[in-house]
Amino acid sequence: MKKYLIPGIVLLVLGLGAWYLIKSNNVMSSYDFSYREFAVEDVESIEKIIVVNKTGEPPFHFTRNGDRWMVNDKFKVNKNVMDNMLDAIKNVQIDYVPPNSAKEEIMKGFLKHGIKVDLFNKRNKKIKSYYIGSSPTDGRGSYYVMDGYDIPFVMKLPTVEGNIHTRFNYTLEQFRDLAVVEIPKESIQSIEVSYPFNKKFSFKFKDGQISTLHPFQKAIGGEQDPALIEAYLSGFGQKYAEYIENKNPAKENILKQTPFCEMRITKTDGKAEELSFFYIPDPDDISYAAPADFTEHFKEGKAERFFIMTNRGDFYLAQLILFKDILWKYDAFFKKMKK
């Protein structure tokens, strides 16, 4: 009898142990850890992002459009800004869990500083929804909390010590791409460039040739250089501004000035883009009269920046160094005479 009793007890203990392990594993496997899983490793699976931040503007809707992102179905998104946002979405990780004693104040902080982020996949299904708050007192990382939960975390990025909050807290103008003009040379049908202060610099391009723009403007009889014309057209491929200045309080007065240059680029699809270039007013020299030659204006030590107004309704601050290869004069397209 004893020889059967001992093995039976052993089997019972083993059976109870197995039952306990199975029970424990089932409890653990059914436990929901989604409240702490903020990162989306496969950002290519994200098709739409909705950001509601504290800039006072309506929600921002970001959607994929080929290899670019659009905001509010209207504007291209600044690539650097979008890359930083996607980097945060992909690589954010838990730094530490704040103590319970700080939880109430952190949760209140989301009401004041919280940015809501909703992520959707290609089937338009919401896959993540969370809030990004301010930073701890040391400025490292940002508070995160998953929508529907009250368990905050301090999150960080592996390569950055600062806060993450700022990557999502832009205005529409700050989210937008800064391209003023982006026209491949093959898409250019004609160009008109007018210099109101010195019309002899003005010209037009059409059918592969440069010619005068204004009536009674004296034509140059020399030989045009096709390589120079090609180089000029290439300059319109990508021209970026420093800032979008649509809300600049001085905009209205600046637009009352006469622009120092006006351009009209007609594309092969028949659509035209118009650019007007304005000097930056000098508040310390209101009597300053700009010279007829805009290049002399910048030689006088004036800031090598100017404003550009487009027929799209956008007002930009731009740098001369980035636009000088499209601010050519009429005589620049002709072969130099050998002495």
Q: Identify whether 17 is part of a domain.
A: no
Give the model's confidence band at 283: pLDDT under 50 very low, under 70 low, under 90 confident, else very high: low
* 3-state SS, residue 172: helix
Q: What is the pLDDT of residue 56?
A: 86
Q: Is residue 316 domain-shared with residue 197, that is, in the same domain?
A: yes
Q: Identify whether 5 is part of a domain.
A: no
Q: Identify whether 165 is part of a domain.
A: yes
Span 238-245, mean pLDDT?
96
Q: Is residue 148 domain-shared with residue 205, that is, in the same domain?
A: no
pTM exceeds 0.85: no
Q: Identify whether 6 is part of a domain.
A: no
Q: Is residue 84 domain-shared with residue 110, that is, in the same domain?
A: yes
Q: Identify whether 106 is part of a domain.
A: yes
Q: Is residue 322 domain-shared with residue 183, that is, in the same domain?
A: yes
Q: What is the pLDDT of residue 287?
A: 58
C-alpha distances (whole Å) from 28 to each of 16, 94, 149, 200 are 18, 21, 19, 81
Q: Is residue 138 domain-shared with residue 275, that is, in the same domain?
A: no
Q: Is residue 88 domain-shared with residue 232, that is, in the same domain?
A: no
Beta bridge pairs of residue 145: 131
Q: Is residue 184 domain-shared with residue 144, that is, in the same domain?
A: no
DSSP secondary structure string, 120-151?
EETTS-EEEEEEE----TT--SEEEEETT---
Domains contained in the chain, number: 2
Q: Is residue 259 domain-shared with residue 113, that is, in the same domain?
A: no
Give the model's confidence band at 254: pLDDT under 50 very low, under 70 low, under 90 confident, else very high: very high
Q: Identify whether 9 is part of a domain.
A: no
Span 180-195, mean pLDDT?
97
Q: What is the pLDDT of residue 290?
A: 66
Q: Identify whether 25 is part of a domain.
A: no
Cα separation of 86 and 43, whole Å? 7
Chosen domain end from 142, 160, 175: 175
Q: Is residue 136 domain-shared with residue 195, that is, in the same domain?
A: no
Q: Is residue 39 domain-shared with residue 158, that is, in the same domain?
A: yes
Give the model's confidence band at 161: pLDDT under 50 very low, under 70 low, under 90 confident, else very high: confident
CB 189 within 8 A of CB 268: yes
More confident residue, 178 or 29: 178
* 3-state SS, residue 183: coil
Which amino acid belongs to residue 254? I
Q: What is the pLDDT of residue 284?
A: 65
Cα separation of 62 and 117, whole Å? 11
Q: Is residue 188 domain-shared with residue 293, that is, in the same domain?
A: yes
Cα separation of 172 and 183, whole Å? 23
Chosen domain end from 148, 175, 202: 175
Token duo for residue 121 = 């996949």
- H-helix or E-strand containing 81? helix 79-91
pLDDT tens digits for 46-101?
A: 999 999 998 889 999 999 998 899 999 999 999 999 999 999 999 999 999 999 99
Chosen domain end from 175, 204, 230: 175
Q: Is residue 163 domain-shared with residue 196, that is, in the same domain?
A: no
Least confident of 12-26, 168-182, 239-253: 12-26
Tell me which residue has tokens 């982020």: 117
Q: Identify whether 156 is part of a domain.
A: yes
C-alpha distances (whole Å) from 54 to each of 58, 60, 172 are 10, 11, 12
Residue 49 is part of which domain span? 35-175
Average pLDDT over the chain, rounded to whole? Answer: 88
Q: Which of 112, 330, 124, 338 lies closest to 219, judged by CA?
A: 330
pLDDT tens digits for 202-228?
A: 999 999 999 999 999 999 988 999 999
Give the model's confidence band at 15: pLDDT under 50 very low, under 70 low, under 90 confident, else very high: very low
Span 290-307, mean pLDDT?
78
Percent of the chain whose pLDDT exceeds 70: 86
pLDDT surpasses 80 at 180: yes
